[in-house]
Amino acid sequence: MAMPSGDATSQLIVTADDFNLSEGVSRGILDAHQHGMVTVLDSPAGPIHARVHNADLISVDMGVPNFDPRSLPFEASAEAHVYPLTVAGTEVEIGAVSVGNPHAVLTVTSVASAPVDRLGPAIERHPRFPKRVNVGFMEIVDRAHIRLRVFERGVGETLACGTGACAAVAIGRRHGRLDATVEVELPGGKLEINFAAPGEHIWMKGPTAVSFTGRVEI
């Protein structure tokens, strides 16, 4: 849902069970702005700066990734690069980060064989995530290329997830396994994520498309 908000354009995207997708970005909103300019979108997570490169390509400032477990929230005694988590009868290691919404990221050998259907919902609803969590399964191809599948909180596995791509790169960078600019290959397409270092803003660049248009009177 898009609404005017002072000098910015505002949007609210809500999942089927009432979770805000705090940093989702709408192509319909960006269509209203001239190519090449930087515009500001208002969201529940705060202002989002976006640059329209052309009719089909945009970059979005997704903010500064927050690795403090309290920001997700995630129950942990202290901030760490890796957290052990017992789930579905096994122990896995996750990275945890907030990119406007909470993400747990697992590194896997292959996304094709990753147990997304089994571990995704189990981690999403793990009691150490009191507000639940999005779950990313990341395969590192090389330092500039990853493959990713995301089980989204309140939705299930999706074809693409912008905040999930940012979260995966942020975790990979923090672990010293990825370069500053990374191609993220998702089932629904590719994104380019740039993250210079922890404490810096993370930028997402990718194609846009209109999925549908509609109007509702309220």
State pLDDT tens for residues 66-122: 999 999 999 999 999 999 999 988 999 999 999 989 999 999 999 999 999 999 999
Q: Name the strand (E) or helix (H) holding 30.
A: helix 27-30
The whole-number pLDDT of residue 15 equals: 53
Please choose, from the candidates 152, 125, 122, 155, the residue with its C-alpha nearest in 3D space to the C-alpha of residue 136.
Answer: 152
Q: Which residues contact 141 (CB under 8 A, 6 or more apart)?
A: 147, 185
The whole-number pLDDT of residue 3 equals: 39
Peptide linkage before 69 cis (omega within 30 of 0):
no
Q: Determine the 3-state secondary structure of 49 from DSSP.
A: strand
- The residue type of 122 is A
Q: 124: phi > 0 → left, psi -120 to 50 → alpha, else beta; which? A: alpha
139 touches 104 (CB < 8 A): no
73 touches 79 (CB < 8 A): no
- The residue type of 168 is A
The whole-number pLDDT of residue 161 equals: 94
State pLDDT tens for residues 177-211: 999 999 999 999 999 999 999 999 999 999 887 77
Taking the chain, what is the end-to-end CA distance rounded to the nearest angstrom? 12
Q: Determine the 3-state secondary structure of 174 from DSSP.
A: helix
DSSP string, 61-114: E----B--GGGTT---SS--S-EEEEETTEEEEEEEEESSSEEEEEE-S-SSS-
Q: What is the percentage of the chain residues whose pLDDT exceeds 70? A: 80
Neighbours of 81 (CB within 10 A): 12
Tokens of 21: 């997708």
CA angle 106, 112, 116 (to 5 degrees): 50
The whole-number pLDDT of residue 27 equals: 47
